[in-house]
Amino acid sequence: MTTIKIKGMTCNHCVMAVTKALKGIGAIKNVKVDLQKGEATFDEADPVDMDTIREKIKKAGYEVES
């Protein structure tokens, strides 16, 4: 299980947008986004480059915290 911090989420619409962005990456499964913690957790069926994840989150309008 991988956990990343997401900046910029303020409501359930944000949670859905981040969830959809992560699910759009083929190897990512079991996405759970927690608005209060400001983080997303997921499993990787195959290793996914963090740059790919950052790019998808950025396109959705949010930012992955380092």
Structure confidence by residue, pLDDT tens digits, 34-64: 999 999 999 999 999 999 999 999 999 999 9
User: How distant, in Å, are the alpha carbons of 21, 24, 47 from that of 17?
Assistant: 6, 11, 22
Q: Is the pLDDT of residue 28 over 90?
A: yes
pTM recorded for the entire structure: 0.92
Give dist(CA 39, CA 3) in Å, integer. 7
What does the CA dihedral 26, 2, 15, 66 come to, rounded to 10 degrees? -110
Q: Candidates 3.40.50.720, 3.40.50.150, 3.30.70.100, 3.40.190.100; correct CATH number of 2-65?
A: 3.30.70.100
